[in-house]
Structure 1
């Protein structure tokens, strides 16, 4: 059966412009970090990807090292793109990243020119694409001259392999440094993809949001649910914190306090007729400087529950004050 996208898909998911650029993203993007690749049947992944597009999610986020085996998440997307999504290329925002360990040897990671050029070429091959919409330097490279990284990203745009460039996991200071070079080169820099959620507010504390806005870029938030902490999964207790991403590992210092906080947040969500997860994602989207939030889904049910967050994005001043009071504890 030939796939045909749902005709009402753009009526379901809100979308927003990234700063004052020409790039528009859905409020929610589907990420491929842990939920796509060689350990999941292609047929299952295909169902989730196509359902996401039917729900108005037209942005798909990948990386060279996603898998679990490096590159296999891109292989998965490429297979679905070839079989079903290729006719919709003009509607899709497809992004990928390079910088974490991708292949053997010293040139298989970080942000040198040879590494980034080769990584993007491999990503394009795996996904059966001529270009990606955003190509990110996946992490700060402490050893490579920053200008080399910036000029390489600029070159890839000029070669037509990427429309926009971004960075990921950069600090506010690091963003400011590379953004200045991009402005000199006239490179279309679109933003920083970092962890940002109710429990990890570093993006606010170090003025990341303000710095990105000053450079006409946005924040793309991954980990909106803090690896599942901001769901109902741990309301009765948190005994194992080994699953946590490094940026959320601080909760392991006092799991009991985190559980109390989660229950108080859940009570606010219930008063809003939302799940804790839905409220957590709506809370991120309250700020126009957030260009999109990236989440993963392993089932259509999971996907649909997350998308429901966009049905109630408004917060009253009282709700925001109550959330702040809980988070400040």
Structure 2
């Protein structure tokens, strides 16, 4: 398994001045096993979180992504604590770019401004480079939300605005509104991987490319399915949380349908001396040029090592296309 990388080539995030590594560290797993979505993961120890953050940043990642809803701020706090520890150690990698998100459920756009100081406090006073609307279902209009985000940029509370889980139409509207304030929408964070490609079909990817908006792909390994572990040993399905077992893709029929794709990932992995998961991540960050960046998470150090290793090589165009075809076949 490739675990080390030479200098990682950075790419622009949208039309911002931010330059990011193709992969950033997703911090959902740092939720302390609490909250609406945090129960998806077990409660990691501080020492484990520190090691994961250290390996990720020292390996070439220069940005992290978290959210208010991840444990009600506990993920942000755990991340901040780990970065504090790295600073105390004198690490040269203790100041990554930080992306986090506002949770809109049963809230109006006024909450974006009224809760920003809570986000900054949870992050230990660190600046927010990218602030994202987590879902498109607040009680306010997109126009009101973008006005609030523009206000935060003007006040110096955040550097750039992004969204998450927005449709093509919603994304275009958010971008249009921000332009009225002299800003652009930097990114749209959506689920995207070889086994989940809705944005390729519904116009979101096309619109993002036209407007120069980056796609931040979450769940880039389809919750571990693209590593091949569940195909190799179906008994491992019982070891994951019930919430994860309920997801589509882990049933017998779905595993059989995706097996040819997993087999191809394995063949390419052997060729490059890497893992199937690293091949899946490499496809994701190269198939659309610089448009897509991804945020794989890590609950173990070896996951972090595998993530950074996925940036140390590049699939050729023919291999990207082979995976593209196998992906669509698995989704029929």
TM-score range, shorter chain: 0.7 to 0.9
The question of whether the paired residues in 1 share the 8 Å contact of 2:30 and 2:79 is answered with no
| Equivalences for residues 192-271 of structure 1 within 5 A | 192-236=188-232, 238=234, 240=237, 243-244=243-244, 249=248, 252=251, 254-271=254-271
The question of whether the paired residues in 2 share the 8 Å contact of 1:15 and 1:27 is answered with yes
Q: Deviation string for 1:259-300 (max 9, x for gaps)?
A: 343234323333343311011110011123435210111222
48, 60, 69: which one aligns with 2:64: 60
3-state SS of the aligned residue for 2:67? coil
Distance 2:310 2:5 in 1: 16
The question of whether the paired residues in 2 share the 8 Å contact of 1:265 and 1:276 is answered with yes
1:294 alignment counterpart: 295
Q: Show structure 1 runs of 5+ residues with no match.
A: 1-8, 101-108
Q: Deviation string for 1:103-142 (max 9, x for gaps)?
A: xxxxxx3552232223322110011125200000000026
2:154 alignment counterpart: 158
Could you say if the C-alpha distance between residues 238 and 140 of structure 1 is closer, same or farther in structure 2, counting changes exceeding 3 Å? farther
Could you say if the C-alpha distance between residues 29 and 169 of structure 1 is closer, same or farther in structure 2, counting changes exceeding 3 Å? same
The question of whether the paired residues in 2 share the 8 Å contact of 1:113 and 1:152 is answered with yes
Flag as ranges the 4+ runs of structure 1 deviating above 6 A.
86-90
The question of whether the paired residues in 2 share the 8 Å contact of 1:117 and 1:152 is answered with yes
Larger RCO (CA under 8 A, 6+ residues apart): 2
Most deviating of 40-49 and 267-276? 267-276
3-state SS of the aligned residue for 1:157? helix
The question of whether the paired residues in 1 share the 8 Å contact of 2:284 and 2:292 is answered with no
The question of whether the paired residues in 2 share the 8 Å contact of 1:35 and 1:297 is answered with no
80, 83, 86: which one aligns with 2:82: 80
Provide the aligned length of Structure 1 versus Structure 2.
Answer: 309
| Equivalences for residues 21-170 of structure 1 within 5 A | 21-37=16-32, 39-67=43-71, 70-85=72-87, 92-99=96-103, 109=105, 112-141=108-137, 143-170=139-166
Could you say if the C-alpha distance between residues 83 and 267 of structure 1 is closer, same or farther in structure 2, counting changes exceeding 3 Å? closer
Distance 1:232 1:284 in 2: 16
Root mean square deviation, CA, Å: 2.7
The question of whether the paired residues in 1 share the 8 Å contact of 2:217 and 2:293 is answered with yes
3-state SS of the aligned residue for 1:284? helix
2:38 alignment counterpart: none
1:104 alignment counterpart: none
Q: Deviation string for 1:88-110 (max 9, x for gaps)?
A: 6995211100125xxxxxxxx35
Could you say if the C-alpha distance between residues 295 and 111 of structure 1 is closer, same or farther in structure 2, counting changes exceeding 3 Å? farther
Could you say if the C-alpha distance between residues 189 and 89 of structure 1 is closer, same or farther in structure 2, counting changes exceeding 3 Å? farther
Q: Deviation string for 1:39-83 (max 9, x for gaps)?
A: 22112211211222211212011100113xx21111111222334
Distance 1:93 1:65 in 2: 19
| Equivalences for residues 310-329 of structure 1 within 5 A | 310-317=311-318, 319-329=319-329
Query: Offset at 1:245?
Result: 9.3
The question of whether the paired residues in 1 share the 8 Å contact of 2:226 and 2:276 is answered with yes
Q: Show structure 2 runs of 5+ residues with no match.
A: 34-42
3-state SS of the aligned residue for 2:28? coil
Distance 2:211 2:81 in 1: 36
Query: Offset at 1:309?
Result: 1.3
Query: Offset at 1:10?
Result: 9.1
Query: Offset at 1:191?
Result: 0.7
